């Protein structure tokens, strides 16, 4: 991890991803959400992981399975 990389709270991550805080919390339980870091009882996200999560969910149409499901092939 880059020591200078910005870490953000769940509330900030929700703003960046436009997801609800409760959605991010649920994704941490069920999986499938952005990578996160546990620091004691605190949860933080790297900004780069949030942007990678968004990029992995990029679609061209509603029938597009996306990079996460088809190995990144387009």
Mean pLDDT, residues 66-73: 52
Quick one: pLDDT at residue 62? 86
Report pLDDT digits (tens) over 4-63. 789 999 999 999 999 999 999 999 999 999 999 999 999 999 999 999 999 999 888 888
- The β-bridge partners of 37 are 44
Nearest to 14 by CA among 59, 45, 57: 45
- Tally the C-alpha atoms within 13 A of residue 10's C-alpha that lie toward its C-beta: 16
Place of tokens 């605190």: 42
Quick one: pLDDT at residue 74? 39
Quick one: pLDDT at residue 49? 96
How many CB atoms neighbour CB 1 within 10 A? 8
pTM: 0.78
């Amino acid at each position: 991890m880059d020591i200078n990389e910005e870490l953000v709270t769940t509330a900030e991550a929700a703003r960046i991803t436009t997801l609800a805080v409760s959605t991010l919390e649920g994704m941490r339980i069920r999986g499938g959400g952005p990578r996160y870091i546990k620091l004691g009882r605190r949860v933080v996200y790297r900004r780069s992981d949030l942007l990678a999560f968004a990029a992995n969910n990029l679609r061209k149409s509603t029938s597009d399975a996306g990079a996460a499901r088809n190995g990144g092939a387009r």
